[in-house]
Amino acid sequence: MSLQIQFAIKNNPYYTSYLRNNSYWYKILNRNPKAFKDFEEQVKTYYHLRPSDRLENAINTINIVTNLMSNLK
């Protein structure tokens, strides 16, 4: 595994946690460093870190608050 990828993994707690749970990525990243982009996408999908996930979470929170407010009236 290249040194740059190792530093990126070590500096991001989501990457290290995901690697511990899905150790097959060690082999993939060792053999093909270009697969790091795929790895990043998998991590973002798994931990819901994509912008669309954040927007969905905000919309859900707003819906909960509006429902709560309408029930209190």
Contact 33, 9 (CB under 8 A): no
Structural domain span for residue 52: 3-72
Length of the chain measured in residues? 73
Please calculate the CA angle 16-60-44 and round it to the nearest 5 degrees: 20
Question: pTM for this structure?
Answer: 0.74
Please calculate the CA angle 44-12-46 and round it to the nearest 5 degrees: 20
Q: How far is CA 23 from CA 17, 19, 30, 39, in A?
A: 10, 5, 12, 12
Q: How confident is the model at residue 65 (pLDDT cuts 50, 70, 90)?
A: very high
- The tally of domains found in the chain comes to 1
- Summarised one tens digit per residue, pLDDT across range 2-46 is 899 999 999 999 999 999 999 999 999 999 999 999 999 999 999
